[in-house]
Amino acid sequence: MKVAQSKVAALLDAPPADCRAILVYGPDAGLVDERFDTACRAIVPDLGDPFLVANLTAQHLKEDPARLADEAAAIAMTGGKRVVRLLDATEPTTAPLRAFLDDPVGDALVVVSAGDLGPRSSLRRLFESSPHGAAVACYGDDAQSIDHLIHQTFRTHDVEVDDDAVYHLQAILGADRGVTRQELNKLALYAGAGGRLHLSDVLALVGDSGASSLDEVSYAALDGDAAALDGALSTAAQGGVTPVAILRAAAGHLSRAHFVKRQLEDGERFDTAVNRVRPPVFFKLRKRFERQTRHWSVSQLASAIALVTEAESNCKRTNSPARAICGRTLQQIAAMARRPG
């Protein structure tokens, strides 16, 4: 079955008895790791227990396809339910997984991790269609989920945080769940229980986390600066930022510009309009953002949003040249910026 995002937490915390295998996949590697770990710990809290945990890889199944069923059927010497962890699964692992899901043996839960899988992926389609399988997608946090994670983390550590610090964190975090948690925990440790975080603390302590390169990609595209865009795309790629994350950041930037431009055309002042945007525009980039919104027309921005939306869909197709699609689309947007509105 395909698991709706609203039901992911409940499924991972307590997998139902008829769910024998869970596929956790997507471009957000940190979130994949986090959800993979959550599903495994729901069955075996101590993942270092060799009697209750079996670790497999795609190479193991290539050499011995029957090993998956053997591990799932094995009975722990110490008693208790087992978990079989299959790491970094690829399309060739579909066949042994299909054999298992068609006739599940034993009572172990099989938890599978994978990278970004397009809609045509045989592995993804197997789990989405199987009554004994569950497919959990892991994409970058949206504004609502990142806001929840920020407040949840600081509440857990008994840390207060100023609103402007939260707005800044919303703007720069979210591309990778693992990096996001690392940065939030670092801030919580700095503040200490009963402490309070200010914007100045966040500006001083939070690393780039891919955020600056994502900002520069979006701003370079809307500036029409092809050379700067090439450099920003290269930096983002070297930092491990996925094409889907880059396109989503660009879509968010375009959407904010589109909103503000509509307000400007209705006679609103820029400062008033931009203050309504969430997540907020980083104060150091407000002048640049204003130049862009005044230069672009509403129709151009709408066309650019449609381009990045289509590009993201194309990037999710199996074996698609995602980085080429991403780069070509953003250069197309940069070319639009060089034309008069």
Cβ atoms of 28 and 176 within 8 Å: the answer is yes
Type of residue at 105: V
User: How far apart are alpha carbons 285 and 270 in whole angstroms?
Assistant: 14
Per-residue pLDDT band for 207 (boundaries 50, 70, 90) equals low
Cβ-proximal residues to 124 (8 Å cutoff; 6+ apart), any chain: 23, 25, 114, 117, 118, 135
Whether pLDDT at 26 is above 70: yes
Q: What is the pLDDT of residue 318?
A: 64
Cβ-proximal residues to 131 (8 Å cutoff; 6+ apart), any chain: 1, 18
Domain with CATH 3.40.50.300 in the chain: 5-137
Average pLDDT of the chain? 89
CA proximity to 341, closest of 302, 307, 298, 308: 298
Q: Out of 55-64, 184-193, 238-247, 290-299, which region has the weakest mean confidence (pLDDT)?
A: 238-247
Average confidence (pLDDT) over 289-299: 94
Judging by DSSP bridges, how do beta strands 83-87 and 53-57 pair with one another? parallel
Q: Out of 5-14, 218-227, 241-250, 322-331, which region has the weakest mean confidence (pLDDT)?
A: 241-250
Question: What would the CATH number be for the domain defined by 143-205?
Answer: 1.10.8.60
> Which one is predicted more confidently, 170 or 220?
220
* Topology at the third CATH level for domain 5-137: Rossmann fold (3.40.50)
Show the tokens assigned to 18. 């008829």
CA count, 13 A, side-chain hemisphere, 322: 19
Domain with CATH 1.10.8.60 in the chain: 143-205
pLDDT per residue as tens digits for the range 135-156: 999 887 776 788 889 999 999 9
First-last CA distance in the chain: 46
Q: What is the pLDDT of residue 243?
A: 87
A 10 A CB-CB count for 238 gives 9
> Which one is predicted more confidently, 227 or 205?
227
Q: Where are the beta strands (DSSP E) in the chain?
A: 21-25, 53-57, 83-87, 109-113, 133-137, 160-161, 196-197
CA proximity to 39, closest of 51, 53, 57, 58: 53
Q: What is the pLDDT of residue 210?
A: 47
- Compute CA distances 124 → 9, 114, 127, 135, whole Å: 19, 9, 5, 7
Average confidence (pLDDT) over 44-70: 94
* Topology at the third CATH level for domain 211-337: Zinc Finger, Delta Prime; domain 3 (1.20.272)
The alpha carbon dihedral of 196, 144, 3, 28 has a sign of negative
Full-prediction pTM beyond 0.85?
no
CA proximity to 340, closest of 289, 275, 285, 295: 295
Domain with CATH 1.20.272.10 in the chain: 211-337
Helix axes 94-102, 122-129, angle to 10 degrees: 10
SS3 (DSSP) at 134: strand
CA proximity to 109, closest of 126, 78, 128, 132: 132
